[in-house]
Amino acid sequence: MIQLSSACFQILNQLESVVEKISPEDFCRPSTVLSGSTIGQHLRHTLEFFICLERGFNEGTINYDKRAHDKQIETDKTMAIFSIGRIRNFIDTEIEDRPLNLEVCYEPDSEECTIATTYYRELTYNVEHAVHHMAIMKIGIKEIAPYVELPDHFGVAVSTVRYRETVLDSQALVGILDQEKM
């Protein structure tokens, strides 16, 4: 599905842009407003969900709890950019939907259960998950790296962008009608 791939590429491009602009020190600097976590940690977390999807696509079963927590991705900007490229290549290559299994566990003392899913459904989940973490990253970036110019709509869901545009259009129309009454 071209629209879904395009959304992924936009997100990955935005993330890459931020990684390129932020200093290595600020990439790893704990943020007070993020309870001591770093931009690099949130980026790594986001990217590892895509990496789990890639691994699960090849194996037939996805388990987001079995992330590597790769310290290199969260501390080394070069490795982060490499990981973004790897994910971009995977999404560009795997364009057909297919059935998959999702392993989840929501109770500490329980075993995992398996849920039927599809590649497109999980890619959609990854888009939503990435936008959520980008919104969190935006808060941290404003605190520790205000010099980083964020891409338009960084960490904002497309539905929110559309809603805001509708509200602005409605407000503009009301303003025009008010002026015509005068």
CATH assignment of 2-151, given 2.40.30.40, 3.40.50.2000, 3.40.50.2300, 1.20.120.450? 1.20.120.450
Residue boundaries of the structural domains of the chain: 2-151, 156-182
CA atoms within 13 A on the CB side of 120: 9
151-159 average pLDDT score:
88
Q: Which of 119, 116, 81, 99 is nearest to 4 (CA)?
A: 119
User: Over the stretch 53-69, which tens digit does the pLDDT of each residue have?
Assistant: 999 999 999 999 999 99
User: Over the stretch 41-54, which tens digit does the pLDDT of each residue have?
Assistant: 999 999 999 999 99
Contact (CB, 8 A) for 29 and 38: yes
* pTM of the predicted protein model: 0.88
